[in-house]
Amino acid sequence: MDAENLHYFEKAPIAKAVAHFAVPMMLGTSMSVIYSILNAYFLGTLGNTAMLTALALTLPLFAVIMALGNLIGIGSGTFISRLLGEKKVDDLKHVSSFAFYSSLVLGIIVMAVGLLLIEPIVHGLGATPESFGFTKEYVTIMLMGSPFVILFFTLENIVRSEGSAMTSMTGMILSVVINIILDALFIFVFHWGVIGVASATVISNLVASAFYAYHMSYKSQFLTVSLKWFKVTKDILSNVFKIGVPVFVMSVFLGAMSLILNLFLVEYGDQAVAGYGISSRLLQFPEFILMGLCEGVVPLIAFSFTANKLRMKQTIGFTIKAILGLAVLFGVIVYLISDHLIGLFTTDPQLIEMGSYILHVTFLSLFITGMTSLFMGIFQATAQGTAAFVMSIIQGVTLIPVLYIANQMNGFHGVIWSLVIADAVAFLVGAIMLYVLRTKLQPDLEHLAQ
């Protein structure tokens, strides 16, 4: 970490510090959503609804693979930021090396087990007879590339945790650009369809992972991928997993929620599943912008938690105002042009109607989902493992019974509105826990006196 990054951690005005850490993350996450949208767009041009359905059905699998990367990456990353605040240099190297090699091993295990269970996995994702073949193709390629996908999400978090926000963003954008180029090549030139989409994702993650590994080996002052620094201790495992496990559980719950939602939507036809798949990708754009904001400030919050709690409190206050402003902006845009947005992906009038309706409903909870992401980020950064774990399960625990009851009472409309109800409950629980933990997050008296 160079002197400039240290300046943003310790002394820069709050608005400039938040911008330094969050804007690159917001740009990077928005680019990742763009290529997710383009995946659906490229397949949509082929005029095959079953392919779009397969793409929607495989979202839970990708969520689980991403969750494994975040299990190591966010757990290690928040620990690294706290260690930076305490100036413990050797410990940083041990943690970063641990994160690199444990991610690779985890990915190899996922690949081996997943390929052995390929048929049950595809059936479990809810593939219909029409979409089964396409779903199996995507799942096979994604499992084969899971070591690189897991490594990508791990290293992106590790690099960002030391304050190298621009490098983190560069790696994400590199992944997106390569993915888009390969999507067009594999689909329109080689005519690989779903296989092309999955292959482009894996290759782009491999290239970005190599970029991050190069930075850690030759550019970073503290991070390393050297095996000689690899170390497994009780302290490392405890600090990584008390934050990483809640993140993993939350991601798995989100994947499970997507899977369960798809199983309910299948009752209403492929148009309902495809409509949700398209609208959820569009919703990801503002959601990931807000998520990028909240995840971007986590290293700053974590560093300040061990170095200057007054600065941490100011950072949180500024971030809340930014979430509100962005939520209002995106909400207005979507309500004005939702039909046109869905129409970019399909000419099917029923699909456009369903997708537009889903967008209108789910955008109602954009602000509270942004705040929920911030709550989770605060708990991660300040090592509040229990609170982070509660946040990780509350939305899923709420959604499942609400989804069942709402489906019985109001059919398709109930299924969609259950998402908003689950978001609201998660927000309220997070706000209550933050209030309960407020004494631990209060500024230190000596900083107030300065």
Contact criterion met (CB below 8 Å) for 413 and 272: no
Domain count, the chain: 1
pLDDT at residue number 32: 65
SS3 at position 76: helix
Residues of the domain holding 367 = 3-449
Contact criterion met (CB below 8 Å) for 68 and 248: yes
d(CA 80, CA 432): 28
pLDDT at residue number 447: 42
Query: Is the pTM of the predicted complex or chain greater than 0.85?
Result: no
Contact criterion met (CB below 8 Å) for 144 and 115: yes
pLDDT at residue number 432: 92
Residue 421 one-letter amino acid:
I
283: closest CA among 320, 327, 347, 348?
A: 327
**How many residues are there in the chain?**
450
423: closest CA among 438, 407, 402?
A: 402
From first to last of its 450 residues, what are the pLDDT tens digits of the chain? Answer: 456 667 788 888 899 888 888 888 787 777 766 767 777 778 877 878 788 888 878 877 887 898 899 889 988 988 998 888 787 888 889 999 999 999 999 999 999 999 999 999 999 888 888 889 999 999 999 999 999 999 999 999 899 888 888 898 899 889 988 988 998 899 999 989 889 989 999 999 999 999 999 999 999 888 999 999 999 999 999 989 887 888 787 777 766 777 777 778 877 777 777 778 777 777 777 888 888 888 888 888 888 887 788 888 889 999 999 999 998 898 888 888 877 777 777 777 777 777 888 888 888 888 888 998 899 888 888 878 788 888 878 877 888 888 888 888 888 888 888 888 888 888 999 999 988 887 776 654 344 334
> What are the distances in angstroms from CA 42 to CA 29, 73, 138, 388?
20, 31, 15, 37
d(CA 318, CA 312): 10
Count the neighbouring beta carbons within 10 Å of the beta carbon of residue 8.
Answer: 21
SS3 at position 13: coil
155: closest CA among 227, 114, 95, 89?
A: 95
> What are the distances in angstroms from CA 352 to CA 176, 272, 278, 285?
27, 10, 10, 18
Chain centroid, CA 206 distance in Å: 18
pLDDT at residue number 352: 79
